[in-house]
């Protein structure tokens, strides 16, 4: 764990907190889920405060979308990989056999748990300093204009940039009536052989969910 602490630029006073943050629920009841809950809240607060300060000209909705872009699972998993968190994960046999140390959801959750552990081991000021250092490049690259683009627009622009045809959206099914209706929609990108199916209370929301899912899939390819 020395290497991980060096990568974090933080030395734990209570190393048991770091051990717990690295322990998946498949191992023990004394796992990282509560620390993950704490770290998620702290991360959201730190990034929200930083975006509020950096982008005084954008509204609440734009700030929210920009924050979501920065703290989504894919981003956290990539940061976890840079820290070599997977080398220190404590996983049950089932998760080990299925390659859990590479699973993005586990890496992202562990990243948040570590932030929660740092907070408990030190204070808010310390975990804020570490978090902003880890997110420095991402924060510098984050554009206020990007927050204006919804997932469908982002997907369309990305595909056009790569020279691919536009995604194909299709309403598959509608269940229920009136205000209780649920719309099932698919989105397909032929050149990449990627397809996503999502449901929501409106066609627009379902399409946005499909586009978001495909964006995440393209990013990890």
Long-range Cβ pairs for the range 60-65 (8 Å, 24+): 62/144, 62/147, 62/148, 63/147, 65/147
112 an active-site residue?
yes
60 an active-site residue?
no
Of the residues 95, 112, 121, 207, which is catalytic? 112
Neighbour-count burial of 218, counting CB atoms closer than 10 A to its CB (0-12 exposed, 13-18 middle, 19+ buried): middle
Of the residues 40, 50, 95, 109, which is catalytic? 40
Q: How far apart are CA 163 and CA 146, in angstroms?
A: 20
Q: How far apart are CA 2 and CA 23, in angstroms?
A: 16
Token pair listed for 169: 């959206």
Catalytic positions: 40, 112
């Amino acid at each position: 764990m020395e290497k991980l602490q060096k990568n974090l630029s933080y030395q734990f006073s209570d190393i048991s907190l770091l051990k717990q943050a690295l322990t998946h629920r498949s191992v023990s009841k004394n796992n990282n889920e509560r620390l993950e809950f704490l770290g998620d809240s702290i991360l959201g607060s730190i990034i929200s405060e930083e975006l509020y300060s950096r982008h005084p000209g954008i509204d609440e909705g734009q700030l929210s979308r920009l924050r979501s872009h920065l703290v989504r699972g894919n981003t956290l998993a990539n940061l976890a990989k840079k820290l070599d968190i997977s080398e220190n994960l404590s996983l049950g046999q089932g998760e080990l056999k299925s390659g859990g140390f590479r699973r993005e959801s586990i890496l992202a959750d562990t990243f948040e748990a570590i932030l929660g552990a740092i907070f408990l081991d030190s204070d808010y000021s310390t975990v804020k300093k570490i978090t902003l250092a880890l997110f420095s490049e991402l924060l510098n690259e984050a554009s206020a204009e990007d927050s204006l683009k919804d997932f469908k627009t982002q997907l369309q622009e990305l595909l056009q940039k790569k020279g691919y045809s536009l995604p194909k959206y299709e309403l598959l099914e509608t269940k229920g009536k009136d205000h209780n209706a649920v719309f099932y929609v698919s989105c397909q990108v032929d050149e990449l052989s990627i397809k996503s199916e999502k449901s929501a209370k409106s066609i627009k929301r379902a399409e946005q969910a499909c586009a978001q899912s495909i964006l995440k899939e393209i990013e990890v390819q």
